[in-house]
């Protein structure tokens, strides 16, 4: 029995086998082989496995994002059988007598460069597809265990680190816990763990030898125990039973109003979600609505820009699933730690301060207009509000409103229905937005405070850097004073004010938020009932 301690992200217990997730090793060695025909057979076998993986991914994508958006995986299967692509791989193996990994990687680089140099935009976009299928084939050839779809039981996922683009494509029904060596407690992977109600640890010195072994992840002590003995497993199962009892007690709060014990303050309690499938968790936990739909995950789980129709269907489904309850959808918030290769955003020295979110939308307006058309069309099917991230000026808001009106005019001309008086809001997550919040409040219907980024920018701390975790303090007086200023100024300007950052679920601050005059809290679905419980036990008369 071995035990390792790290930092806990979510206090819960998981027991199960370890799945060791490895990223594809992009640097492939040029190794000589004696039997070239045997190497070609090895490649052909890997291609069969890779196509089988794509079949599973396609079926999953159809269920989650629709057939149109899943079509890219069918295209990838066809590209793996492309004669020119295969001939290049076979020729390199035979003529240079090298390993299949090198032949695939070289072919992938050559073909991707060729497509990228073409004048046709469609063909240029295929460069990313070539890289993707080549990396998948190399992963299979190298024995990298990257296909979550092949699992037949829920597992504890162990990895060096996880990017949002990787976690969003995983089969969440097969995840018991996350354990990583690197990463931050404020990363989007950490946010996903809290959304999924599973324990997660960071800072654990992971070992590949753990693959397939039984383990216990204890989110209370921040430990992972490899090959636990029966007594320890029995002890942890008791903890799991106690957690279940607490959950059942909170279930009694379903249908109850989120109002203080003295009846002095009532707030709206919404849920944060990352995709259509998360609405089930929001409803199961009795959220009054969706306070943050992270629309960028539609882009992260796609190999190309999601079409207007794909986006429309996703937004419409969430609106219909929520049955008339408010659904606040945040426009594209890519950049920084959330990267989609086909955007070609490039490397930046300070990505958190760089080309991201509304800055992409206002400089690449064809992307923005497509999303706004989809959002407005979906608004005819439910109670949708639109929220814009990373605002720093009144000029940005006025430009956004002008573009929105232009899109509305297009839809009117086409005879397409939408909610004429759709509610719009902005995220307050920069110091600039804090200081002009009264003026912003006159331009929009609501504010939602992104406390993760507000804390990052207020304290000048990169929240993705684990070395700075000890300095990252969302309870800092400067952050709390900024929150009070936002609430007061928002109300003066005529906007209601909510919090959608992780701080909204911090039960130590619930009373403080209520006394500040907050109107709404939006939290991970699993925190809805604990926050309601806290509000209903709070007295703010004093």
Catalytic residues: 188, 500
* CA angle, residues 341, 104, 340, in degrees to nearest 5: 5
Residues constituting the chain = 542
Report the DSSP pairing between strands 290-294 and 326-330.
parallel
Phi-psi domain of 517 (left: phi exceeds 0; alpha: psi -120 through 50; beta: other): left
Burial of 62 (0-12, 13-18, 19+ CB in 10 A): middle
* 3-state percent breakdown (helix, strand, coil) of the chain, nearest 5: 50, 15, 35
Complete DSSP assignment for 73-137: HHHHHHHHT-HHHHHHHHHHHHHH-B-HHHHHHHHHHHHHHHHHTSS-HHHHHHHHHHHHHHHHH
- Asked if residue 533 lies in contact with residue 257, where contact means CB atoms within 8 angstroms, the answer is no
Reduced to 3 states, what is the DSSP secondary structure of residue 20?
strand
Burial of 83 (0-12, 13-18, 19+ CB in 10 A): exposed
Cα Rg, the chain, nearest whole Å? 25
Distance, in Å, from the CA atom of 403 to the CA atom of 409, rounded to the nearest integer, reads 10
- Asked if residue 20 lies in contact with residue 213, where contact means CB atoms within 8 angstroms, the answer is no
Please report, for residues 178, 209, 224, the alpha-carbon distance to residue 12 in angstroms, rounded to integers and kept in the order given: 11, 25, 12
Report the DSSP pairing between strands 13-21 and 175-180.
unpaired
Number of H helices, E strands in the chain: 20, 16
Sheet with 13-21: strands ordered across: 2-5, 223-226, 214-218, 13-21, 155-159, 175-180, 200-202, 7-10
Per-residue b/e over 409-446, b at no fewer than 16 CB within 10 Å?
eebeeeeeebbeebbbbbbbbbeebbebbbebbebbbb
Q: SS3 string of 275-307?
A: CHHHHHHHHHCCCCCEEEEECHHHHHCCCCCCC
Distance, in Å, from the CA atom of 211 to the CA atom of 209, rounded to the nearest integer, reads 5
């Amino acid at each position: 029995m071995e035990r390792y301690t790290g930092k806990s992200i979510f206090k819960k217990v998981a027991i199960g086998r370890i799945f060791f997730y490895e990223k594809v090793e992009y640097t492939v060695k040029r190794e000589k082989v004696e039997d070239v025909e045997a190497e070609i057979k090895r490649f052909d076998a890997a291609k069969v496995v890779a196509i089988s993986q794509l079949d599973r991914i396609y079926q999953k994508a159809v269920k989650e994002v629709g057939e149109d958006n899943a079509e890219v995986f069918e295209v990838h299967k066809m590209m793996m059988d492309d004669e020119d692509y295969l001939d290049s791989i076979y020729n390199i193996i035979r003529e240079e007598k090298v390993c299949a990994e090198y032949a695939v990687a070289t072919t992938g680089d050559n073909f991707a460069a060729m497509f990228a140099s073409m004048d046709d935009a469609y063909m240029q976009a295929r460069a990313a597809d070539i890289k993707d299928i080549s990396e998948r084939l190399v992963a299979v050839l190298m024995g990298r265990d990257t296909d979550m779809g092949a699992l037949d039981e829920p597992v504890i996922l162990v990895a060096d680190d996880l990017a949002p683009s990787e976690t969003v494509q995983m089969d969440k029904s097969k995840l018991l816990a996350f354990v990583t060596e690197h990463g931050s407690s404020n990363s989007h992977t950490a946010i996903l763990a809290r959304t999924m109600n599973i324990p997660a640890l960071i800072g654990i010195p992971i070992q590949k030898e753990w693959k397939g072994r039984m383990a216990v992840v204890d989110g209370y002590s921040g430990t992972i125990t490899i090959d636990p003995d029966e007594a320890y497993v029995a002890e942890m199962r008791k903890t799991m039973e106690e957690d279940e009892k607490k959950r059942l007690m909170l279930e009694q709060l379903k249908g109850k109003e989120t109002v203080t014990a003295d009846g002095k303050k009532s707030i709206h309690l919404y849920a944060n979600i990352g995709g259509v499938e998360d609405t089930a968790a929001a409803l199961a936990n009795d959220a009054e609505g969706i306070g943050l739909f992270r629309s960028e995950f539609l882009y992260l789980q796609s190999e190309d820009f999601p079409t207007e129709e794909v986006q429309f269907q996703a937004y419409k489904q969430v609106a219909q699933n929520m049955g008339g309850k408010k659904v606040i959808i945040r426009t594209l918030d890519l950049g920084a730690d959330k990267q989609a290769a086909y955007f070609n955003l490039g490397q930046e020295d300070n990505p958190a301060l760089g080309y991201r979110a509304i800055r992409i939308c206002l400089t690449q307006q064809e992307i923005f207009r497509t999303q706004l058309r989809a959002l407005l069309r979906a608004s005819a099917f439910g109670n949708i509000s639109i929220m814009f991230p990373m605002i720093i000026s009144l000029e940005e808001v006025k430009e956004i409103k002008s573009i929105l009106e232009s899109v509305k005019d297009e839809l009117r001309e086409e005879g397409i229905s939408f909610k004429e008086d759709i509610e719009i809001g902005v995220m307050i997550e920069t110091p600039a937005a804090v200081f002009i919040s009264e003026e912003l409040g006159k331009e929009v219907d609501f504010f939602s405070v992104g406390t993760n980024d507000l804390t990052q920018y207020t304290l000048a701390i990169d929240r993705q850097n684990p070395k700075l975790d000890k300095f990252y303090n969302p309870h800092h007086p400067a952050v709390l004073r900024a929150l009070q200023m936002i609430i007061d100024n928002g109300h003066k300007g005529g906007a209601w004010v909510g919090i959608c950052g992780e701080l909204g679920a911090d039960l130590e601050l619930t009373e403080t938020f209520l006394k500040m005059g907050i109107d709404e809290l939006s939290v991970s679905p699993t925190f809805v009932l604990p926050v309601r419980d806290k509000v209903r036990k709070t007295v703010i008369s004093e």
